[in-house]
Amino acid sequence: MSKQKKQVLILGGGFGGVKTALDLCDVDTYQVTLLSDSPDFKYYPALYRSATGGSRKSSIIPLADIFEDKPVILMHEQAVKLDRDNQVVITESKQKIPYDILVVALGSITNFFGIEGLQEFSYGIKSIEEAEKLKRHLHQQMLDDKKPDLNYVVIGGGPTGIELVGALPHYMRWIMKHHGLKERKINIELVESSPRLLPRMPRDLSVAVARQLRKQGIKLYLGQTVKAQTANELIINDRPVKSHTVVWTAGMASSPFLKENNFTLERGRVVVDEFLRAKGESAENVYVIGDNAVTEYSGMAQTALHDAAFLAANLRRLADGRVPKVYRPKKPIYVFPAGERWAAVLWGSVRLYGWLGWVLREAADWVGYHDVEPWWKASELFLAESDSEESCPMCGESQSRSQAEV
Ligand SMILES: Cc1cc2nc3c(=O)[nH]c(=O)nc-3n(C[C@H](O)[C@H](O)[C@H](O)COP(=O)(O)OP(=O)(O)OC[C@H]3O[C@@H](n4cnc5c(N)ncnc54)[C@H](O)[C@@H]3O)c2cc1C
């Protein structure tokens, strides 16, 4: 007689959610459902490339492609409410999705810290839509022969701000050259409120990254706080900077779903036990992973993948009647690209800088794609990263770009 399968409901089709679903979907006793508000998996580490002339293919992968031939039910819905008593998640369209085991992997949203004007006037690179909007704007500025921006400001000296600002000088030169424009003198600035870049990294690494950015002509404003933004300028401390191109990369907050559904939170993330179960729950079947969980290295794709692999392995053990293992955090390898073919790497206590760092970053991307796709599709996506089949979003002129051209 066939036993009824347990319903595993995973919220969020990002690094954690997708990996959990992939690792668990072949267990006979589980039926896995993946619910996400986006039809695509977002490969965030490549978004800055999509904003600066790279292809969009490497930044977003349709969930339907990833789960083609996999026994996973995909639902394109936004999770709104958790009804613990009845073990259902209620979506925006009022559907009630039942679960026996719930995995919460809803990731983070942009946080503007209530700074006046930022949400309205700044650009972002948290989604492909934002990245492409920024790209269009950069072209628009260069083609504007009346009053184009002279100042291009990225806010946030963390990994995202550094990789974006490091790619800008090369890309802006490329836009000018391919539109046959005389090279203009523009300022590219990076603003960080801490006294140094990458404040959570060792000091020598921050110094090396800062040196590399300065070498490319980028001006660093450290220990400076953004106070407000208007349609025409940004106020940094009390200094107004005229710019229509401000990119905010400085703030992240956990998904609002967590607070709205009364999870026990610490700094916006859910407190979890040694099995990544949400603490303080009456039921023991609610797990939280990735950016949403308070773990040592939360906030990184590598951690979300590690959490997912750990949780899927434990749920397999439970399905077989075995004892689950205790969670151990895994220290990530930190890689910070900061310009054309240059990256800083921190691997344990080892530091690597320059081209070798860049090679490692490329290798990490291949591994990242391979975490969600078989090796041949991962290779295609990886190769798409260096595709720069770009058509100007303003004049529609199609151009091909190569490093040698600039
Ligand atoms: C620009 C950028 C660059 C980054 N670069 C790196 C890097 O180089 N290396 C690194 O290790 N980390 C990097 N990170 C961090 C990394 O991407 C995150 O730590 C990782 O995505 C967390 O995985 P997750 O599964 O917790 O959440 P996510 O991958 O964000 O997935 C969350 C998913 O949930 C969906 N969702 C959200 N709310 C709802 C809802 N209410 N209902 C249904 N679905 C919902 C979202 O659409 C998304 O698909 C970067 C982040 C950004 C923004």
**pLDDT (tens digit per residue) in 59-96:** 999 999 999 999 999 999 999 999 999 999 999 999 99
Contact 87, 100 (CB under 8 A): yes
- The pTM (predicted TM-score) of the whole model is 0.93
3-state secondary structure at position 264:
coil
pLDDT value at position 54?
86
What is the distance between the alpha carbons of residues 343 and 46, in angstroms, rounded to a whole number? Answer: 14
Model confidence at 353, in pLDDT bands (50, 70, 90)? very high
Classify burial at 190, counting beta carbons within 10 Å of its beta carbon; exposed 0-12, middle 13-18, buried 19 or more.
buried
CB 398 within 8 A of CB 391: yes
CA dist., res. 404 & res. 385, Å (int): 17
Q: Is the dihedral of CA 301, 304, 307, 313 positive or negative?
A: negative
Q: Is the pLDDT of residue 154 over 70?
A: yes
User: What is the rounded CA–CA span in Å between residue 250 and residue 230?
Assistant: 18
b (16+ CB within 10 A) / e for 270-290: bebeebbbbeebeeebbbbbb
Give the separation between CA 23 and CA 72, rounded to whole angstroms: 11
Helix axes 203-215, 159-178, angle to 10 degrees: 10
Report the C-alpha gap between 67 and 372 in whole angstroms: 9
pLDDT for position 56? 86
Distance from residue 128's CA to the centre of ligand 1 (Å)? 13
Contact criterion met (CB below 8 Å) for 243 and 94 = no
Protein residue with least CA distance to atom 15, ligand 1: 300
Is residue 304 within 8 A of residue 290, CB to CB? The reply is yes
Mutate to test the pocket of ligand 1, among 10, 37, 43, 165 (most ligand atoms within 8 A of CB): 37
At a CB cut-off of 8 Å and minimum separation 6, what does 203 contact?
A: 196
Distance 117 CA to ligand 1 centre (A): 25
End-to-end CA distance of the chain: 68
Rounded to the nearest angstrom, the gap between the alpha carbon of residue 105 and the centroid of all alpha carbons in its chain is: 13
pLDDT value, residue 405: 43
CA pair distance 240, 234, nearest whole angstrom:
6
**Residue recorded with tokens 């000088």:** 169
300 Cα: distance to centroid of ligand 1 (angstroms): 8
Ligand 1 centroid to Cα of residue 406, in Å, is 33
Choice between 2 and 385, residue whose per-residue pLDDT is larger? 385
pLDDT of residue 266: 94
- Report whether pLDDT(403) > 60: no
| CA of residue 386 to ligand 1 center, whole Å | 22
Task: Please tell me the residue having the least CA distance from ligand 1 atom 16.
Answer: 301
Cα(303) to ligand 1 centroid in Å equals 11
| Pocket residues: Cβ below 6 A from ligand 1 | 11-17, 35-38, 42, 44-45, 47, 78-79, 105-107, 125-126, 159-160, 255, 257, 290-292, 299-302, 304
Rounded to 10 deg, the angle between the 15-24 and 301-319 helix axes is 30
Q: Answer yes or no: is pLDDT of 12 > 80.
A: yes
CB of 58 closer than 8 Å to CB of 141: no
Inter-residue contact 247 to 153 (CB < 8 Å): yes
Q: Is the pLDDT of residue 355 over 50?
A: yes
Q: Is the confidence at residue 389, as pLDDT, over 60?
A: no
Q: Which residues contact 246 (CB under 8 A, 6 or more apart)?
A: 118, 121, 122, 123, 153, 154, 155, 229, 234
Whether the per-residue pLDDT at 210 is higher than 90: the answer is: yes
Mean pLDDT of 27-48: 96
Q: Is the model's pLDDT at 401 over the cut of 50?
A: no
pLDDT of residue 392: 66
Question: If you search the block for the tokens 């310009």, which residue do you land on?
Answer: 339
Q: Which residue has the higher pLDDT, 150 or 343?
A: 343
Q: Which atom of ligand 1 is nearest to the CA of 108?
A: 30
What lies within 8 Å, CB to CB, of 282 at 6+ separation is 84
Q: Give the mean model confidence (pLDDT) for residues 276-288.
A: 87
Alpha helices of 242-374 — where are they, by DSSP H? 256-260, 301-319, 355-370
Q: Calculate what percentage of the chain has a pLDDT beyond 70.
A: 93
Confidence of residue 383 (pLDDT cuts 50, 70, 90): confident
Number of helices (H), then strands (E), belonging to the chain: the values are 11, 26
Single out the residue of 332, 293, 325 nearest to residue 310, CA to CA. Answer: 325
Site to substitute for ligand 1 among 43, 94, 95, 106, most atoms within 8 A of C-beta = 106
Residue nearest to atom 30 of ligand 1 (CA): 107
Which run of H or E residues covers position 90?
strand 88-91
User: In angstroms, rounded to a whole number, what is the distance separating the alpha carbons of residues 180 and 142?
Assistant: 11
| pLDDT of amino acid 400 | 47
Give the pLDDT score at 203: 96
More confident residue, 266 or 402: 266
